[in-house]
Structure 1
Amino acid sequence: MRLDARRNRDLLLATARDQFARHGLDVPLDQIAKEAGVGNATLYRHFPTRQALVGEVFANAANLLAEASAEALATEDAWGAIECYFERILELVAADRGINDLVTRAVPTASGLLGISRRNAATVGSLVARAQEQGTMRADVVTMDLLFMFGALCRSLPAATELRPDLWRRYLALLLDGFRTRAGHPLPVPPVGEERLDRMFAELWAADTPADTPADTPADTPADAPPSAPPSA
């Protein structure tokens, strides 16, 4: 890659990272190009789709989440592991709206990010099972109960952090207290199934995505690009 092309690519990544962090994953791609000081055609030469750009920007975030998962699973005290695991995720989510979208919405396929939601669900499932075996988590809850409520808490974070950056810690503590053994009140209805949770997040994504910019195609077609394909390399 030529030096100027490498510079443009790095600039686009840095700009996208900043824009996603501040505004979430639905930022128009032409806005990213404009903020980076390059043309739309340059953006699409390096990142033909939104998914390609998202995958590059959040590759490190995926690694951080994987590290948090491995550390939690290696901790003997399951309840302590649950607290630390969700605290680490919420620290990331509270500081970055893009990561918030990544962990709470059915984001279209992005390179390197396919396994995030499944890895998170598997980690939480293992921790829930161990905490129940150790007697610290009530026996009548399932993994989807925790994921459902955690997702709702994550989606409220942008508003909460505007009030106070650490406000999420209060509500995480309240949420987790409801799962402790001593909470013990009978639950009135059955839990949501995993497939329904996926569908809910998929519908959330569809509702937030403009109708004329489907998530599996470039959201902003550059004016100087051929109509049938992004500009050639």
Structure 2
Amino acid sequence: MLPPAESSGAPARPRRRDAQRNRERFIAAAQTAFAEHGVDASLEQIARDVGLAIGTLYRHFPTRIDLLMAAFEPKLEEFVTTAERALAMDDPWEGFCAFLESLFGMQAGDRGFNDLVSMRFPASERTEAMHERLYHLIEANLRRAQQHGDVRTDLTVADIITLVWANGRILEATSHTAPQAWRRNLHLMIDAFRATNRHELPEPPLTGEQLYAAMVHLSV
């Protein structure tokens, strides 16, 4: 017979392993569901796909935001790594273009990631902090290319975000018939971003307040 301490402690270890395994299953199912249906994917269906009760899901992830952040952690880390790698490239223009290609490549085929980078959720400190970090990485790559004289000086981070919105619609329209069509539009826009042969634009860029309000509006 096991001593009392070992006897009382032994059952907890399998439960902890089961809990971790269930958490990982929920994250995997959520990644698939969010990629296909966006951030509003049914949590009940995610629980059914895993074969567990919705209450079990909520014990692991009390809010939708908790599940979103867990599901998209790998892609958010990839975003940060890509942005930092682009900043380290010798040629600022090549770094800027490589960064945009990678950002829009991550957006392609993942409706949930598209939603996450396109929207703001003011009630969530975690997503607000995440967006601020992503915003500053976009800005750093943009400003570096502008300071080097490669990118037109009137381009703003808001212009990059509006391109993310536009690309989301392109992906929605073409993903089943021409899944690489987004790359043509992206590179047309990259040509438009060049400092050479620039022309004055008829409208000013969105202000920070206008951009934030628009991103919040998309999440409503």
TM range (shorter): 0.7 to 0.9
Task: Say whether 1:86 aligns with 2:105.
Answer: no
TM-score, structure 1 as length reference: 0.80
Go from structure 1 to structure 2 and tell me whether the alpha carbon gap of 1:78 and 1:61 turns closer, same or farther (over 3 Å shift): same
User: SS state of the match for residue 115, structure 1?
Assistant: helix
Match of 1:216 in 2: none
Q: Relative to 1, partners in 2 of residues 1:41 and 1:191: Cα closer, same or farther, differing over 3 Å?
A: same
The verdict on how the C-alpha distance between 1:133 and 1:47 changes in structure 2, with shifts beyond 3 A counting, is closer
Give the equivalent residue in structure 1 for 2:48. Answer: 34
8 Å contact 2:171–2:179 — kept in the other structure?
no
Counterpart in the other structure of 2:155: 141
Give the letter aligned to residue 32 of structure 1: I
Q: What SS does the corresponding residue of 1:189 show, helix, strand or coil?
A: coil
The answer to whether structure 1 residue 180 and structure 2 residue 185 are counterparts is: no
What is the correspondence of 1:132-171 to structure 2 with a 5 Å cutoff?
A: 132-171=146-185
How far does the alpha carbon of each residue in 1:145-178 deviate from its partner, in whole angstroms, 9 at most, with x for none?
Answer: 2332233223432322222121111010011111
Equivalent positions of 1:1-233 (< 5 A) are: 2=15, 3-107=17-121, 113-206=127-220
Q: How far apart, in 1, do the equivalents of 2:218 and 2:30 lie? A: 22
Greater RCO (Cα-Cα under 8 Å, separation 6 or more):
1
Residue 42 of structure 1 aligns to which amino acid in structure 2? T
Q: Hey, what's the Cα distance between the residues in 2 that align with 1:56 and 1:156?
A: 27
Q: 1:156 to 1:105 in 2, by over 3 A?
A: farther
Corresponding residue of 2:8: none
C-alpha spacing 1:107/1:152, structure 2 compared with 1 (3 Å)? farther
Larger Rg belongs to = 2
Q: Which runs of 5+ in 1 are unaligned?
A: 207-233
CA distance 1:157–1:107, shift in 2 (3 Å): farther
Structure 2 residues not aligned, in runs of 5+: 1-12
| Counterpart contact for 1:51–1:108, Cα < 8 Å | no
Paired AA for residue 90 in structure 2: E
Deviations 1:53-92 (A, max 9, x none): 1121111111111101111111232211111001111111
